[in-house]
Each structure stands twice: as C-alpha cells, then as structure tokens.
C-alpha cells in the first residue's frame, strides 16, 4: 500500500472511539455471530446471506471486523471469486488499518468482482486501488424490495394468449438461447468473453436449485425470469430476459409479477437490483410494487 496513505477508512460504531477494532479471518465457531449480523442486514445483502449459507460447501472464507468486546460488527465474504462486504450502517467512521494478512489476501486473492451496497463497495475500491488492483467496470444499481404482493394490474399484463409457467428440466435446450442472450447483454463485464459451457452450467443450476418461470406465446418461449439467491427469509429475482421482438408488450411485468406472487405466497420476502441506467425496467418493477431501498454496486477486477 502507498506509504503516504497507509490508513484506510472502514466502517465502525461511534462507541468505538479511542479503541482499535481489528479484522480477522473467522472460523466456524464465529459463524453464529456472523449470522446474527447478516440477519439484521438481510434486506440489504441477500446475495451475501445466500453465499454465507453455502460457505462450507464451496470452501470459501469469511473475514470479520471485531471490536474490543470481540463482537463481529462487519463482514467480508469471499465466495466463488466474488467479494461481498457487509458493513454497519453507521454514519460515523474510524480509521483502522486492515490486518497484514487481510491486505495480502486482497492483493493476491483470486476474485473478479466485489458486490454489495454502494457505500461499502466504495470503501473496498479505495483499498484495492491502494494495492494496485484496477477497477475495470463499475456498475451502479437500485436495490429494490417488494413489501406487499404484486399489483393486480401487472398480473394481467401482456398480450392475449400469453402463458406463464414453470418449465421442466428437459426444456433446457429451449431456454438456453435466452439465458445466453441474457448473460451477454446484462451480466458479462466489458472485455469478458462468453462461454456457452459456463452458461449451460448456470442454467442447469437455476433449473435444479432456483425458481424459474417462462413466458410462452404462440407455442414459443419468449421470456424468462428466475430467482438468483435465497437467504434466510428473502429471495432475490434475477435473470429477467425478453426476446427483442417481444419487448414493450408488458411480458416482463407479468412474468416478474407472477414470480413475485409465488415467492410471497411461499413466505419469502422478495428483492432484486436493477441497473440505474435501465429506466424501462425500473418503471416496470415499480408498477409491480417494488421500491428502491438503497444504492447497489458491482465492480469487476
């Protein structure tokens, strides 16, 4: 790190004034404290909560920010080449040196993205810049949540004859072109190459472990939407894609409204994040009943 800027700004509670909290890599004995923090912040970090629930399966790691009472007050989760920070919502901050082991991990770790609330990502970006790691493609989103069920009018949206249904796994080949187009249009960062093999594995995972609905018109699958994560009590919608020739017909609104309704009936809260520049999608989600609750950000490295 640059010798003229050794200290970085990390979130901390005002009650820590005059103390020196520290970052440590957490073992399973501390997972209870980590879960308590995640549950408190769940509406703002569904992805991180979902990755935490799969932490042992993927052999990933978890860093904790401990105060002098040894309580975990912030987290940094490394899962499947993504860093997900969960920092406290305090306005006051304290200047704290990250531990040497953590700086070494951030400098040399294998990850391609950092994802979370924008205020938390900006903190990490500053640290990463000091370590010489270049931010290749930052993208800002609105994090949105649905408090009640979807609006009645959106459950009737779309052209006459539109059918919304859950597909069978055997229909993978019919859905794959939509998944491929979605990943190339909405997911891949600048300069990245598309892999059909990876896309196929992603779709297999969705069909096996997530909730997915397709929109069918005149016997053709023209749109899809699925969940991308399940946390403790919330679900996250993603993968929304409509074929270009069928856009602006209300299909996406109907599809997301029906998926949201199914999730709410099953007892799940519903979240999603949408690019700030995608005004059309934002309008569609608001018509369903979603509202923006925070600024979200993904930065690729």
Encode pLDDT of 63-121 as tens digits.
Answer: 998 876 778 889 999 998 899 999 887 543 444 457 788 888 899 888 899 999 999 99
Range of the domain at 105: 3-135
Which is more confident, 151 or 73?
Answer: 151
pLDDT greater at residue 70 or residue 160: 160
Q: Do 127 and 166 sit in the same domain of this protein? A: no
**Whole-angstrom distance, CA of residue 8 vs CA of residue 10:** 6
Give the sheet arrangement for strand 61-66, strand by strand.
22-25, 61-66, 72-79, 82-86, 113-117, 290-300, 137-146, 269-275, 234-242, 220-230, 212-217, 163-165
Residue bearing the bigger pLDDT, 54 or 298: 298
Same domain, 232 and 168: yes
Q: Give the residue with greater pLDDT, 57 vs 141.
A: 141
**C-alpha of 260 from chain center:** 17
* 176 and 95 within one domain: no
Q: What is the CATH number of the domain that holds 40?
A: 3.40.630
- In this structure, the answer to whether residues 110 and 149 fall within a common structural domain is no
């Amino acid at each position: 790190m640059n010798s003229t800027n050794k200290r970085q700004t990390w979130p901390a509670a005002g009650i820590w004034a005059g103390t020196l909290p520290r970052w440590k890599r957490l073992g399973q004995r501390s997972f209870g404290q980590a879960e308590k923090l995640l549950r408190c912040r769940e509406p703002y970090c569904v992805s991180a909560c979902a990755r935490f629930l799969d932490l042992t399966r993927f052999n990933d790691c978890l860093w904790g920010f401990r105060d002098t009472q040894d309580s975990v007050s912030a987290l940094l989760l490394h899962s499947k080449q993504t860093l997900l920070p969960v920092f406290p919502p305090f306005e006051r901050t304290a200047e704290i040196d990250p531990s040497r082991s953590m700086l070494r991990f951030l400098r040399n770790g294998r990850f391609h993205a950092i994802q979370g609330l924008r205020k938390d990502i900006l903190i990490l970006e500053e640290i990463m810049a000091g370590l010489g790691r270049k931010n290749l493609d930052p993208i800002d989103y609105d994090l949105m949540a649905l408090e009640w069920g979807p609006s009645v009018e959106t459950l009737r949206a779309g052209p006459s004859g539109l059918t919304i249904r859950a597909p069978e796994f055997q229909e993978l080949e019919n859905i794959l072109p939509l998944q491929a187009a979605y990943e190339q249009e909405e997911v891949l960062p600048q300069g990245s190459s598309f892999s059909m093999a990876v896309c196929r594995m992603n779709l297999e995972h969705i069909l096996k472990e997530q909730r997915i609905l397709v929109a069918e018109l005149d016997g053709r699958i023209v749109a899809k939407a699925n969940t991308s994560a399940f946390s403790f009590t919330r679900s996250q919608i993603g993968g929304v894609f409509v074929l270009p020739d069928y856009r602006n017909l209300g299909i996406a609104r109907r599809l997301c409204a029906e998926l949201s309704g199914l999730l709410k009936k099953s007892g799940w809260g519903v979240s999603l994040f949408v690019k700030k520049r995608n005004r059309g999608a934002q309008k569609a989600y608001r018509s369903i009943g979603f509202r923006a609750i925070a600024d979200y950000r993904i930065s690729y490295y």
